[in-house]
Chain A
Amino acid sequence: MIVVRLSGTATSKLSLQQKLLHLNWELVLLIVLTASIGFAMLFSAANGDFHPWALRQLIRFSVGLLLMLAVAVTDIRIWLRAAYPIYVVCLLLLAAVELMGSIGMGAQRWLDLGFFQLQPSEIMKVGIVLALARYFHGVDSEDAGRLSNLVVPVVFVAAPMALVLRQPDLGTAGVVAMVGAAMFWLGGTRLWQFATVAAVAASAIPLGWQFLHSYQKQRIFTFLNPETDPLGSGYHILQSKIALGSGGVFGRGFLEGTQSHLNFLPEKQTDFIFTVLAEEFGLLGGIGLIVLYGLLIAYGTYIAYRARSNFARLLAMGLTVNFFLYVFINIAMVMGVLPVVGVPLPLISYGGTAMLTVLIGFGLIMSCWLHRDTYINRRGGAFW
């Protein structure tokens, strides 16, 4: 059994083999299952071809899966110690995008590493959760409500948001804000403080509107009324709704979706891949995937409950909320419930950074599971 010592000098006694044995493989299985659906959809999106997406995605996933396991078996206290440095690195990468990022999709989001195009704003989603989990771990719940204790975490959230907004990437900025809010909530911030921030944010909307790019404003207008401009900006939403709706209950069958195969669907391999699934497998397929996501989220929440340390609890819950936000925003977006913001469908959309980010996130969640009984003191444990 795992030995726990209140003294704070507790060390995980598990060997690598034991850790691998105790790993929650059913979670891994769920992840592999979900990703497999993604491969099938990318295969279909390419008109029944492993090129150019499915195969590359499979390779990335395999690498990411190994990375996930490596992250999972790493002691959670190492992650606690590394939380701030990782956050800082992410922030520097974001700044680097600002300096030398290449143009992609009308906004600077990529960092070309030669072999890999890194999207620092994706990694930042993990970075912010790590940093806030570390911060709130160290703050007593009594003190968490103190205003002076909120300055640092607000800066933690505001800094990457500002950089992401400059790219400009409204979707990611929103996700960062919402993840941050969830962390504050879980960290024990008072309700009235929440209400104040929400009021301030709401009053800032008209001010922020002026800083939006015209295409972003257009997207919001289009979202509010897509039918007004079916061949212009509303095209994406309308075509995606047509794809979904025409799928019906049972779908048109694998590789039989006309909307995707005849290219009516925009960005079908990335942000709009859910519509490919919904067109070909119908309501049943869509619900199936949502249930899979629900199970993953439930599992993450369960792990958060089972963890003993604040850091692990906050980390697991924060990452789970982050994962949920990916799922919800993407699906709501393709169904015309939210404006089109560049948020991928996790584990399924084509794209390396998002895949790695999500898998690293699950690696951290699994690490929380493996080290759920590890005691960590407020400063991060004395063993270091």
Chain B
Amino acid sequence: MVGRFGAAIVKNRENKRQRTFSRRAALLAAGQFGLLTALVGRMYYLQVVESERYRMLAEENRINIRLLAPSRGRVLDRFGVPIAVNHQNYRVLLKAENAPDVSAILDRLSLIIPISAEEKARVLKDIRSRRKFVPVTVREFLDWEDVAQLEVNTPDLPGIEIDVGERRVYPNGEVGAHILGYVGVPLPKDLTGDPVLELPGFKVGRSGVERAFDLPLRGRAGTSQLEVNAVGRVIRELDRQDGDPGQDVVLTVDMALQREAMKRLGDEAGSVVLMDIETGGIIVQASTPSFDPNAFTEDLSPAKWRSMADNERAPLRNKAVAGEYAPGSTFKMIVALAALEAGVVTPKTTYVCPGFLEVGDGKFHCWRRKGHGVVELNRGIAESCDVYFYELARRVGIDKIAKMAERFGLGNELNLDTSGERTGLVPSKAWKRAVIGQPWMLGETLIAGIGQGFITATPMQLATMTARMVNGGKIVQPHVARDLVVRDKLTVRVIGEPEYIGVNSRNLKAIMDAMTLVMADPAGTAHRARIKAPGMTMGGKTGTAQVRRITQRERDEGVIKNRDLPWRFRDHALFVGYGPVEKPRYAISVVVEHGGGGSAVAAPIARDVMAAALKRDPARLAPGANVAGLRASDKRGQ
């Protein structure tokens, strides 16, 4: 027992101790209070001062905007036949989270569509590297039978899903390749900021109509706002804005005739252009050899591409608009028109052709060594007398010839609605001074008179030239699509009141008559390629363009025959024409690279294509056929 005294001491000590404790506990409590207040302050900072920023971050976390790729517009020919379409691309996907045993499911799947061991290994690897709810592609481009089989068996294949994408298909393959072009993955320069371009698998037009009309064909992407959780799984769709599918483009091209022309060109390297002379609508634009644009839709191997790019017959080049050839004798109508318009000759003016013309030191040969004798305009064109045109050219001068050529569409861009157009070249004195830096020589004028020398033109320009000659001098604008792109949208092209070149119609008539004789006159260069059926006769002009220089020595020893030369040194065969003679409707140009003579090679091809065109129902070919009606039926057919 502790005594009273002891108790007092204890009590005293206790009091002192209690005071210490109280003081220190109070400090602790104050510290705690201070720290809790600091927490509140921090909360205020985060939830009030910085709240806006964090709320935005929370939304960014939560919302994932996904683009919905628009369906690419189709391309139809003038009769509404689809020539560039989208096929459904059926893919088999495997979602691991729904598949209890991925390996077993793949084995069961391979009973329907055989899956190789490598494929299986790839799929298993893909599945391992992704989150369980992300579908992995097992196989693409399934045919319909496999899809049907899979659909029936889905209950036994948990985790297997069939997904439909799109791929571009050109049902006519090589036939329209140069008109249509192809689609491909966008290149860095194509990335204009449109986010749809960055979608995996999205394709843009890389050449031809696909490129020229890419924006309207492309359509507008839709967006889907998705709420996602932390691992990216989609919880729900918050908002959806459907895009617009791409617009269909209707061409002026007749795919059946196009096929005919391609067949007729066969293995030759060349082109055929058939144009409506009133509208400028291009009905045929063939270029051979061609390529299969479908190969570009899937991945084209670099080796395959190299072999096409290196081919001397240039399958990738659209020769109709990008091939620049010396027009040869097909240029003689321009020279004649220039001379007639200048008044230096009349259709009756005659010259004597002894087989050559000596000017200064130079001796200029006619293709016919023994000469044509007395020649006026009709014979000059029908028999293609070179001396006659040397005379005309000498009298009218290069600058007037050049001006006339340009009025008919040569030497400049035609502003075509396809890609890859080249200008060709129409030389003049000013041009030579500026570009070559030398004065113009008279001999060069004579050579230009027969469409040789510096001068080059594309088959498209030659067809346009012919059309403008036989339609009364109307300035028609060649085009392959019935539609125009106006502010990224397609609008139907309206062919309004035509403008005229402004040449004397009597002179045009004289040229046309002479062109008729090329085929009708037994002495005409293309007499053997005439069309005999009544109402389908055609007029035209042959051309044979030298691609090498024939020396005097060779002339003396006898000019080497084309068939004895290597392919690349043979002459180009050309032909331009129109039909029917009574009421012209179409203009045509044919170029066969290194084909030999225009009359033997080019003219028969032109005849066959023209005859086929004239046999088509004229009512269906009437310019300005009901495009709107065509559109409506297309939509129904979709």
Which residues of chain A have a CB within 8 Å of any CB of chain B? Answer: 6-8, 140-142, 182, 185-186, 188, 239, 241-249, 258-259, 261-264, 278, 282-283, 286-287, 290, 293-294, 297-298, 301, 304-305, 310, 313-314, 317, 321, 324, 327-328, 331-332, 335, 337
Contacts and interface: CB of A to CB of B under 8 A. Distances in A.
B48 A248 contact: yes
B47 A283 contact: yes
B51 interface: yes
Given A263-B231, A328-B35, A335 B46 contact: yes
Of the listed residues A258, A314, A328, the one surrounded by the most CB atoms of chain B closer than 10 A to its CB is A258
Contacts of A314: 21
Given A245-B46, A278-B43, A287-B43, A186 B55 contact: no
Contact of A332 (B28, B29, B32, B39): B39
Given A8-B2, A247-B47, A248-B55, 13 more contacts: A243-B58, A244-B47, A245-B58, A262-B229, A283-B44, A283-B48, A290-B40, A297-B29, A297-B36, A321-B28, A321-B32, A327-B36, A332-B39
Contacts of A337: 39, 42
B230 A297 contact: no
Nearest 6 CB-CB pairings of A with B: A245-B54, A246-B58, A262-B229, A141-B17, A263-B230, A246-B55
B85 interface: no
Contacts of B24: 185-186, 188
A245 B51 contact: yes
A242 B230 CA distance: 13
10 contacts: A186-B21, A245-B51, A248-B48, A282-B47, A283-B43, A290-B36, A293-B36, A305-B25, A317-B21, A324-B36
Contact of B32 (A259, A324, A335): A324
A293 B51 CA distance: 24
Interface in B14-43: 14, 16-18, 20-22, 24-25, 28-29, 32-33, 35-36, 39-40, 42-43
A181 to B, nearest CB: 10
Nearest to A335: B42
A249 B48 contact: yes
B152 interface: no
Contacts of B58: 242-243, 245-246, 258-259, 264
Contact of B47 (A7, A249, A258): A249
A242 B61 contact: yes
B47 A245 contact: yes
B25 A140 contact: no
A240 B297 CA distance: 47
B64 to A, nearest CB: 11
Contacts of A313: 18, 21, 25
A324 to B, nearest CB: 5
Contacts of A259: 58, 61-62
Contacts of A6: 2, 7, 11
A295 to B, nearest CB: 11
A259 to B, nearest CB: 6
Nearest to A187: B21
A321 B36 CA distance: 12
A342 to B, nearest CB: 19
A186 B54 contact: no
A102 B32 CA distance: 36
B43 A188 contact: no
Contacts of A328: 32, 35-36, 39
Contacts of B43: 244, 278, 283, 286-287, 290, 335
B383 to A, nearest CB: 83
B227 interface: yes
B151 interface: no
A305 B22 CA distance: 7
A246 B56 CA distance: 8
Contacts of B57: 242, 245-246
A55 to B, nearest CB: 24
B20 A141 contact: yes
Nearest to B27: A185
Contacts of A294: 33, 36
Nearest to B35: A328
A245 B28 contact: no
| Centre residue among B2, B28, B35, B44 by max chain A CB count within 10 A | B28
Given A246-B55, A249-B47, A301 B29 contact: yes
A297 B31 CA distance: 12
A335 B39 contact: yes
B2 A7 contact: yes
B50 A245 contact: yes
Given A8-B2, A248-B48, A262 B25 contact: no
B13 interface: yes
Nearest to B228: A262
Contacts of A247: 47, 51
B53 interface: yes
Interface in B57-72: 57-58, 61-62
A242 B59 CA distance: 10
Given A186-B21, A245-B50, A283-B44, A7 B39 contact: no
B25 A304 contact: yes
Contact of A141 (B13, B28, B47): B13
B1 interface: yes
B235 interface: yes
B97 to A, nearest CB: 15
A58 B460 CA distance: 87
Contacts of A327: 36
Contact of B28 (A8, A182, A331): A182
A287 B40 contact: yes
Nearest to A266: B230
B257 to A, nearest CB: 61
Contacts of B46: 241, 244-245, 335
Given A188-B17, A188-B20, A244 B54 contact: yes
Contact of B229 (A246, A264, A278, A331): A264
A195 to B, nearest CB: 15
B230 A262 contact: yes
A76 to B, nearest CB: 17
Contacts of A258: 58, 61-62, 227
Contacts of A261: 229
Contacts of B42: 332, 335, 337
A335 B1 CA distance: 57
Nearest to A248: B51
Interface string B496-509: 00000000000000
Nearest to B7: A6
A221 to B, nearest CB: 21
Contacts of B235: 262
A213 to B, nearest CB: 26
Contacts of B229: 261-264
Contacts of A140: 13, 17
Contacts of A297: 29, 32, 36
A258 B61 CA distance: 9
Nearest to B19: A141
Nearest to B4: A6
A245 B52 CA distance: 8
A375 B443 CA distance: 136
Given A283-B44, A317-B25, A246 B13 contact: no
Interface string B60-91: 01100000000000000000000000000000
Contacts of B14: 310
Contact of A262 (B11, B36, B53, B227): B227
Nearest to A140: B13
B590 to A, nearest CB: 65
A328 B39 CA distance: 8
Nearest to A141: B17
B54 A242 contact: yes
Nearest to A310: B17
B5 to A, nearest CB: 12
Chain A CB within 10 A, most for which of B29, B42, B228, B230: B29
A316 to B, nearest CB: 9
A263 to B, nearest CB: 4
